[in-house]
Structure 1
Amino acid sequence: MGKVHPQALGSSTTCNFTSKQETFTLWMKSLVLNGKGCTVFDSNGQVAYRVDNYNSNNRDQVHLMDQRGNTLFTILKKQYKLSRFWEGYKLPATRNDQKGPCFRVGKTYSIIRWDSNYEVELGLDKNQPYNYKIESSSCKPACKIFDKLGVIVAELRRKKSTCGIDLGDDVFTMVVEPNIDLSQIMGVVVAYSLIKSKM
C-alpha cells in the first residue's frame, strides 16, 4: 500500500482559527493498532487531529484530539424519540455534562432519496446558536458544509494522487475556508463520519 501522506509524524501546533484556506488529508484509520478512528494530516504532512477509539465495539462516544493527544471534543451519540444525532462537548465530557454541547449534528429527511442533508447546530454552549448544513450524495463519499447564507465553509472529497488516481475509499481531502474554527469543523466532520458509519 502506498503512503497516505509522504511525510513523517512531527509536532506541529494546531491553531483554532486560520486567516487563509487550509487543506487537510483525512485517513479514516487510527494510528493505534486494531483501533477505530481517523487521522488528520495538515498540508505539511504533520498530524493535526486524530480520533482513536480503543473500544471498537462502542462507537457511542469518541474523542477528537490534537496531535499531542489532548482531547478537544468528546462526541456523544444521542437519541430522542425517533431521531438520532451526535453532540460535541468541549474538552472531556460525560453524558450528564451541565455545560451543554458546543454542536449537534443530525440527519434531516428528504423526499429525494439520493441526496442526504444533515443539520448542524453550532454555538449551543454560548446560547447563540447558528446553523450549518451538510449536503452529501449517497452515491459519493463526499460532502460540502454550508453556512446559513449558503456559502461553502468546508468541502470533503476523495483524495487523488498527483496523476489523478483515487487513493482509496478511506482517504479524503478536506478544504476549509478562512476564519473558520478548525477544531469545531473537524468535530462536525467526525460526527458526520460516525453518522455515515465511516469510522
Structure 2
Amino acid sequence: MTKQILTMGKVHPQALISSTTCNIFTSKQETFTLWMKSLVLNGKGCTVFDSNGQIAYRVDNYNCSHRNEVHLMDQRGMVLFTILKKQYKLSRFWEGYKLPATRNNDQKGPCFRVCKNYSISRWDSTYEVELGLDKNQPYNYKIESSTCKSAYKISDKFGVIVAELRRKKSSCGVDLGDDVFTMVVEPNIDLSLIMGVVVAYSLMKSKM
C-alpha cells in the first residue's frame, strides 16, 4: 500500500491532500486526472483526481476475476452507479444503474447504456451512449476514438464535445504512462454520469 501511495503522488503531485466533496454538475470547464489503478492493493479499478489533486471518484473491484459488475463511488465510498455487463443475442453492452443493483436484481432499469457501433470505419471506433433511460427521456452521446491513439472524446447529438480524454504528460512533456489520462469536462455537465460512461467504456476496452 505504501508503494501505491508513493506512485499516486507521482501521478498527481497534490494527490496526498485529503479529499473533499466534488460537485455534481460542472459550472466551468474542469480538468481531472484518471489513473487506471485501484488504491486497494492488488485490486482492479481506477482513481480520479480533481485539479487540486483531491480524490473525486474511484472504482475498487475487490474481486479481480469478476469484471461483470463494478461500482463507481465518490471519494467517501458512496456508490453512485452500479455498472453491469449485459448481452442480448450477439450484442454485448454495459448498463449503469443509480440504485444498488446486481445481475439478478436490476428491475429499476438503467440510467445509461454503452454499446459499440459496428457501422464504423477501419481506423476509427465509435460507441453509442443512451442516456436518460431511467426517466424515459432518452438522449444520446457518442464516444469516438482512434485505434492508433490512447485518446477519445464524448460528444452530444449535435457533435458538441462534452468531455475529452488524452494521455497525461508531466510538466516537462513526458508521458506518465498508458494508464494515466487527463480528462477535460465542459460546463453544465453531470460529472458522475460522465464518469459512469467513462468507466463503462474502459471496461469494454479492457482498460480496467
Does TM, normalized by the shorter one, top 0.5? Answer: yes
What CA distance in whole angstroms lies between the structure 2 residues aligned with 1:186 and 1:91?
Answer: 16
Instruction: Quote the residue 1:176 is aligned against.
Output: 185
Deviation track 1:113-168 (CA, whole Å, cap 9, x = no partner) reads 22100000000000000000000011112110000111000000000111111100
Please say if 1:90 is aligned against 2:98: yes
Partners of 1:146 and 1:122 lie apart in 2 by: 12
Aligned to 2:160: 151
User: Deviation at 1:185?
Assistant: 0.3
Unaligned runs of 5+ in 2: 1-6
Residues 1:188 and 2:204 are matched in the alignment:
no
Among candidates 56, 70, 87, match of residue 62 of structure 1: 70
Aligned residues, how many? 199
1:49–1:111: structure 2 CA closer, same or farther, 3 Å change rule? closer
The answer to whether 1:49 aligns with 2:75 is no
Q: Which runs of 4+ in 1 moved over 3 A?
A: none
TM-score by length of 2: 0.93
Q: 1:44 to 1:131 in 2, by over 3 A?
A: same
Gaps of 5+ in 1: none
TM-score normalised by L of structure 1: 0.97
Aligned equivalents of 2:151, 2:85: Cα separation in 1 = 22
2:123 to 93, 114, 117: 114
Q: Retained in 1: the 8 A contact 2:120–2:126?
A: no
**Of Structure 1 and Structure 2, which has the larger fraction of its residues in helix?**
2
What RMSD over aligned residues (CA atoms) do the two structures have, in Å? Answer: 1.1
CA deviation map 1:11-35 (0-9, x unaligned): 3112111210110000000000000
Q: Structure 1 counterpart of 2:63, which letter?
A: N
Select the residue among 154, 163, 169 that pairs with 2:172: 163
